[in-house]
Amino acid sequence: MKKNISAKLIKEFSKQSKNDALLRLARNTTVRNDIEDLAIDWDIYRKIDHTFSEIVSGEMPVTNQKSSGRCWGFAGLNLLRIYLGRKYNLKNFEFSQSYFMFWDKLEKSNYFLENIITTVNEPRNGRLLMHLVSNPIQDGGQWHMFINLIHKYGVVPKSEMPETFQSSKSMRMNRMITRKLREFAITLRNASKNGAILEELRLLKTKMLETVYRLLTIHLGNPPKSFDWQIRDKKKNFIRFEDITPKIFYNEHVALNLNEYVCLINCPMSDKKYNEIYTVEYLGNVSDGEIIRYLNLPSKRLKETTVASIKDDNPVWFGCDVGKHFHRNLGVMDIDLFDFELFYGTDFPMTKADRLEYGDSQMTHAMLFTGVDLDSKNNPRKWRVENSWGNKRSNKGYDIMTDKWFDEYNYEVVVHKQFLTDAEIEIYKRKPIKLPPWDPMGALAK
C-alpha cells in the first residue's frame, strides 16, 4: 500500500459512497438539520421523565452564568444558597457571582505571577512556560479553589455586587488582563536575568497586581467591604441584618464547614491507581490556600457516596464532560439517547480510559446533583442536575443524567467526609502524588 492517497483510492471511496443508501439519507438530512436531533432514538426519547424518588429540600430557581466559564463558582454558590435558604426559609436567593469572580481573577493573577517567578530559569519555549502563559486567568476552577476564595473573602448577596456585561460575557476582560499578565511575565523574567533578587521581583509583582486590580474594577465594579442585608421569607416575614462583612455573612449566616468536604474522582487512566490521592502541579488560585486534592475511586463509590449525601438532604457538587451525549434543549445526558452508530454507519468503541488518555474527554463543566431516582433495590436509575444555564431549557433549567452516563462521563464529586470509610479518609490525608499541569484531571480549571 502507498503512503499517500491515490486518485484510484478516491475513486473507490466515491463509488462506495454513491452506492450506500444509508449514507445518502444521512447526508441529505444533515444538510439543514442538527445531527443531535436527527440521531435521537425515539424509544429512548419518549421515556424522558423528570420525576425522582429523592430530591433535596430547598431547591431554588436556576441561575445563569451566560457567556462565561464560571460553572464551578456558580455550582458552589448554588450549593451554599440551599443551606442559607433553609435557614431563613427563602423562596429564592443568589450570591454575587461577580464578587466571587473579582477575587478569583485577582488571586489567579498573583498565582500566575508567583509561578512565573519560580520558573524564571525554565526555557521560554518549554512546555511548562507555554502552559503557564496559555491561559493565566481562565474562568474555570476546581473545588479547592472555590474553598480558598470563600475562606479568604466570604460571600455577598447578588444585590450588593450585581452582574455586569463583562462578568456575563468575560472574553474581552480575560483577553485584556491576559495580555498584561504576559507582558508582566516578560518583565519579571528579564529582571531576573539582569540580577534581580526575589524581594525585588515581588516588589515588581505588587505594582503589577495594582494594575490588575484597576482592570478588574473597570470590568466588574468595586467589591463591597460591608453591607446591610434585608429579605422577606416565604411567609412574608421581614428580616434585616446591618453592617455585616462578607466573611461574617458566610461564617454566621451560611455556616457550612467546607473543610469537612472531600473531593473524589473516577479516573481509570493507566497512569493512575484507585485508592490513591492526587494533585495537579501549578493548578490553583490562592497562593497560600488549599492545594487540589483528589481521591481516585471506582465510579461505584462515587455513586454510593452521592446517593448517601442526597438521601441525607445534601446537594453534591460535581464535575463532568457535559458536551458528550447531551441534548442541551431537552436537558438530557444519556448514552442511549443518540444512535450515532446507526446514523454514521460506524462504531465508537473507546472506553472511558481511552477517551481520557487520547484527548477525547475531560472535565468541562461543574453542576449540582440535587436528586436521584432509585429503583426497588436502591440502585440509581437517573440523577437530577441543577445546571447554571438559565431556565429557558430542559425542565426549568434542571437536567437529567442517566446512571450509565454517570459511569462514562462523570469524573468528580464532592461529598461530606461522613460518607467515606475510615480507610478512604486515611488515604485522603496522605501526601498527594503530583500530576503534570496538563493532566486531564485539571481541565475544569481551564
Catalytic residues: 71, 365, 387
Instruction: Answer whether 231's CB lies under 8 Å from 93's CB.
Output: yes
Helices (H), 320-360: 340-344, 352-357
Nearest to 320 by CA among 307, 335, 330, 304: 335
- Residues 6 or more apart whose Cβ sits within 8 Å of residue 238: 230, 231, 232
Specify which residues 48 forms β-bridges with.
none
Q: Say how far apart CA 273 and CA 4 lie, in whole Å.
A: 41
Q: Say how far apart CA 52 and CA 44 lie, in whole Å.
A: 17
- Residues 6 or more apart whose Cβ sits within 8 Å of residue 426: none
Q: Which residue type does 315 have?
A: P
HSE-up (13 A, CA, CB side) for residue 207 = 9
Quote the cell numbers at residue 333. 445526558
Quote the longest CA-to-CA distance of the chain: 80
**CB under 8 A, 24+ apart: contacts of 21-24:** 22/345, 23/345
HSE-up (13 A, CA, CB side) for residue 389 = 17
